[in-house]
Structure 1
Amino acid sequence: MKKYDQYKNSGVEWLGEIPEHWEIKSFKNILIERNEKNQPIKSKEILSLSIDKGVTLYAEKTTNLDRFKDDFTQYKLAYKGDLVFNSMNMIVGAVGVSNYFGCVSPVYYTYHGGLNNSHTSKFYEYLFRCKTVQGVLYSLGKGLIAIDRGEGKYNTLRLKVSRDDLRSMKLPFPNLSEQATIANFLDDKTAKIDQAVTLKQNQIELLKERRQILIHKAVTRGLNPNAKLKESGVKWIGEIPEHWEIKRFRNTFKLGKGLTITKENLTDEGILCVNYGEIHSKFGFEVNPEIHKLKCVHPDYLINNSSSLINEGDFVFADTSEDLQGSGNFTYLNSKEQVFAGYHTVIARPSDNIISRFIAYEFDSLVFRSQIQAKVKGVKVYSITQSILKGLSVLVPPKSEQLEIVNHLDNSTKKIDIAISLKKQEIEKLKEYKMSLIDEVVTGKVKVS
């Protein structure tokens, strides 16, 4: 991509040089605030902002509308084509052009580019989604910086940018024709990048399905295609090899519970500890302190809480999940290190005739997960109790066959896992390219035509 013929100093530190014919204007002199109240009620559609999806209808979210007042007359209206900001989340890209007519809660700011500026909103949506501008917004934000919600999720979004600070920002202002050219160019390019990302995400899903099929077949039928089969008596499982056993979880594992602690009890030094959030987001299947970084607890917990220590081959289940699909998420300790099971966990210690890695593959299969998902109950949080685990059925082949299946699946799934990892890296590169492209175009570092 080529550059503009001539540049000048913008006088704005974060922006640097801009094309010579571009102007610098205050936000308040570019975009007009929408202050029209929803009274008498003109719209019952409540608008929301998603970082990934832009402006959406609140009804599309999983959360219901009960928390909103019945009277929306004090909400401000937003029209199709308006540029909507979430004052609390704009620092990470919660900015979007609305495709709807509706009303917005007081946490939102709504602006438009005037009657003849149809492309202005779109140009400034791209500008406010670029990393350079987000860095400026971050410096203007006031409030909480980061709250660890567990499961690898963080509220890093609660920095409110005030209306006055937003309106005072100095911004680049290409002429209206160039705004349209830039907006159309980025619409086209980002759509193609998004399509490429979606394609790779679909490929990842297909690889995951293939992995699940391999695991399901191995842990329910074994590796011998000529083995005689029998009915398992469990509808989730169907037929199994005639010489395999089917046992109750309660007869195959001894159950325990993790430490009764909170995140505040975790430290950087001491006795290693694995917690439910890490099971959901980081480890899964297996945890090895030589590979995975774990938080710790004070050694004093060894005095009265030794029952919460896990040994090599022990399993740790997360006892709650935010969705049904996460019910049954677990990890097993693939190390001789001394490790505690942390808060919100259930410990399962296998009997001697179990190879933990085999049973980990079984726990990772849909045939096992379906048993759990049929028993757990919840709306926003799904809980797994020791009682639920005790009633589950577990397939147990002879130990020698367990080892053969483990070796087979280690080899087969490794290839798939490598392929998935490569696809994820490709997705990240595409996303980085998209952000870089937007940044360079809307700040005038490169010219589009």
Structure 2
Amino acid sequence: MMVASPYPNYRASGLPWVPRLPEGWQVLRNGRLFGQRVETGFPDLPILEVSLRTGVRVRDMDNLKRKQVMSQKEKYKRAAKGDIAYNMMRMWQGAVGPAPVDGLVSPAYVVVKPYDEANSSYYSYLFRTAAYMQEVSKFSRGIVADRNRLYWESFKQMPSLVPPRPEQDQIVAYLRAQDAHIARFIRAKRELIQLLTEQKLAIIDRAVTRGLDPNVRLKPSGIDWLGEVPEHWEVLPLRRILRVKSGDMIHASEETEEGFPIYGGNGPRGYTNKVNCHGPMLLIGRVGAKCGCIHRVEGNFWASEHALRVIPLRKFDLEFFEHLLRWVDFNRFAIRTAQPLINSTIVREQICAVPPVSEQVAIRKWITNECKPLDDAIARTEEEIKLIREYRDRLIADVVTGQVDVRGWQPGPEDVVDDALLSALGDENEDVTEEEDGDGED
């Protein structure tokens, strides 16, 4: 990796969010760099979606429910390969990027085609910097702040930095190479987390199915995959112990930048000023590839229709049941004829072996002590991922605004970019900017 150094000469930019620019860089309005593309009637093209961290990608259409939602593809807008697409309501969060292939985006998106002097990948990096996203908020319009949209008419008036085209290309090549290094780091850390998590699950598995006494008398559970369980434990369906109720739909206009957390199918996904749940409470993810995931939530929060709320019918230790439900792994029972999902019936009818409450507490405490070194190692690894992400954000901001000069950089043998590898830059519970599917059943 090269040693960072500034450009030799700078000039005042006239922009508050980047006070100085390298000599030779310009400031132009986006209307000088991009033209709007509004083309419909291409139903055979693949659907594209915009994620908040990794930009535009091809949507996986192998599940039926997505296809049902996309029944009027002829109304979707065409984005040619290299065009930039952005979500009008969420560009301020980074919902923008270049199309990797010719594809279709929602009619609510804006598609812009770059002119010759604009490298769409350079501008995707620029548009996703914190400083530029603040400018997006200033140029967005709406009745209330939470419903502001960045229309084409406003986008084309926004000023952007314009390095000479060869410098744009060099910046993109440099940042993609650095992204590849960072993606390898993140992938290795995630593999470590997966290994540590497997070690935790092995500890938990034995405790929640056999207890702590190695000499306890056992009895057949009557369930093949459960096997024998302690003789004094109850074997019963979960409906005898708890109720399961779906959360409530929340509109995008009710989401805020801070406030009470919103929990969806994969965990926290934003904030709102509204509350429909009071913790501590267990939630089960209802929809998506990771449906069945378990979250224990403290304090006040909003559970969306993509989460199932666990409501006790009798006393039990909440943290023990968090371990028990996670061990059950409801994802393996998911309905997969549509987008993977579980419903309340799947949860309620699940057979489990349940110890007395006092034993639940003892098992929970033992698990906590045994897993603490592993939990600490996982937390340290997650912090390392967070720090490398922060480093990446700072590096991108410095390079695309000309605070660091990369014109002399040349790729080395280690600077190999694999587009598949770059997907590791995204969050494992990554948010896409489409409305979540779901019918609020249960």
2:10 aligned to 7, 19, 34, which one?
A: 7
Q: CA RMSD, aligned part only?
A: 4.5
Kept in 1: contact 2:267–2:285 (CA 8 A): no
2:354 matched to 1:392?
no
**Does structure 1 residue 85 correspond to structure 2 residue 86?**
yes
1:363 to 296, 300, 324: 324
- Residue equivalent to 1:212: 201
Matching of residue 321 in structure 1 with residue 286 in structure 2:
yes
Rate the CA distance shift 1:316–1:398 in 2: closer, same or farther, 3 A: closer
Contact kept, 8 Å, 1:6 with 1:19, in 2: the verdict is: yes
Cα–Cα, structure 1 residues 211 and 46, in superposed 2: closer, same or farther, change >3 Å?
same
Taking structure 1 as reference, are residues 144 and 47 closer, same or farther at Cα in structure 2, changes over 3 Å only?
A: farther
Among 236, 239, 264, the residue aligned to 1:248:
236
Alpha-carbon displacement from aligned partner over 1:142-180 (angstroms, at most 9, x marks no partner): 23778xxxxxxxxx7x53101121111121111111111
> Secondary structure of 1:214's match?
helix
SS at match of 2:11: strand
Residue 38 of structure 1 contacts residue 75 of structure 1 at CA under 8 Å; is this kept in 2?
Answer: yes
- Residues 430-439 or 387-396, more deviating: 387-396
Q: CA deviation at 1:45?
A: 2.8
- Partner SS for 2:391: helix
Q: For this pair of structures, how many residues does the alignment match?
A: 388
Worse-superposed segment, 432-441 or 408-417: 408-417
Once the two structures are superposed, residues 291-326 of structure 1 have per-residue CA deviations (whole angstroms, 9 ceiling, x without a partner) of xxxx989xxxxxxxxxx999xxxx955488335855
After TM superposition, the structure 1 stretch with the greater mean CA deviation from structure 2, 42-51 or 11-20, is 42-51
Give me the TM-score of the superposition, normalised by structure 2: 0.71
Cα drift, residue 67 of structure 1: 3.8
Tell me the CA shift for residue 405 of structure 1: 3.4
SS of the aligned residue for 2:160 comes to strand
2:218–2:229 CA contact under 8 A, matched in 1: yes
Change (3 A) 1:51 1:374: closer
| Inter-partner Cα distance in structure 2 for 1:60 and 1:50 | 16
Q: Contact 1:324–1:373 at 8 Å: present in 2 too?
A: no
1:45 aligned partner, one-letter code: P
Counterpart position of 1:132: 131
Task: Describe the SS at the equivalent of 1:160.
Answer: coil
Q: Secondary structure of 1:142's partner?
A: coil
Alignment of 1:12-51 (within 5 A): 12-35=15-38, 37-38=39-40, 41=42, 43-51=44-52
Match of 1:441 in 2: 399
CA distance in 2, matches of 1:246, 1:279: 30
Query: In structure 1, what is the equivalent of residue 425 of structure 2?
Result: none
Separation in structure 2 between the aligned mates of residue 244 and residue 234 of structure 1, nearest angstrom: 16
* Alpha carbons 1:78, 1:103 under 8 Å: kept: yes
Question: Following TM superposition, by how much is the alpha carbon of 1:443 offset from its aligned partner in structure 2, in angstroms?
Answer: 0.8
Q: What pairs up with 1:10-409 in 2 under 5 angstroms?
A: 10-35=13-38, 37-38=39-40, 41=42, 43-60=44-61, 64-68=66-70, 70=72, 72=74, 75-114=76-115, 120-143=119-142, 158-223=147-212, 229-241=218-230, 243-248=231-236, 253=241, 277=263, 281=267, 316-318=281-283, 321-323=286-288, 326-327=291-292, 329=294, 331=296, 345-348=309-312, 350=314, 356=317, 359-360=320-321, 362-366=323-327, 368-370=328-330, 373=333, 382-384=342-344, 389=348, 392-396=351-355, 405-409=363-367
Q: Deviations over 1:368-392 (max 9, x none)?
A: 445994799996764426x964763
1:190 and 1:98 map into 2 onto residues whose CA distance is 18
Uncovered stretches (5+) of structure 1, i.e. residues with no partner: 147-155, 264-273, 283-294, 298-307
Query: How many percent of aligned residue pairs carry the same amino acid?
Result: 26
CA contact (8 A) 1:75 1:105 kept: yes
Cα distance, 1:358 vs. partner?
A: 7.5
Name the SS of the counterpart of 2:156 in structure 1. helix
Answer whether contact 1:3 1:446 (CA < 8 A) is retained.
yes
SS class of match (2:85) = strand
Structure 2: segments with no counterpart, 5+ residues: 251-259, 269-273, 409-442
Query: 1:414 maps to which residue?
Result: 372
Structure 1 position 202, deviation (Å): 2.6
* Matches of 1:383 and 1:144, distance apart in 2: 37
TM-score normalized with structure 1 length = 0.70
Query: How far has the Cα of 1:66 moved from its partner?
Result: 3.2
Amino acid at match of 2:170: T
Query: Larger RCO: Structure 1 or Structure 2 (Cα < 8 Å, ≥ 6 residues apart)?
Result: 2
Work out whether residues 215 and 365 of structure 1, in 8 Å CA contact, stay in contact via their aligned partners in 2.
no
Distance, in Å, in 2 between the alignment partners of 1:389 and 1:324 is 21
Give the distance between the partners of 1:361 and 1:47, measured in 2 at CA: 36
Per-residue deviation, residues 113-156 of structure 1 (Å, max 9, x unmatched): 345x5x7111111111111101100111223778xxxxxxxxx7
Rg bigger for which structure?
1
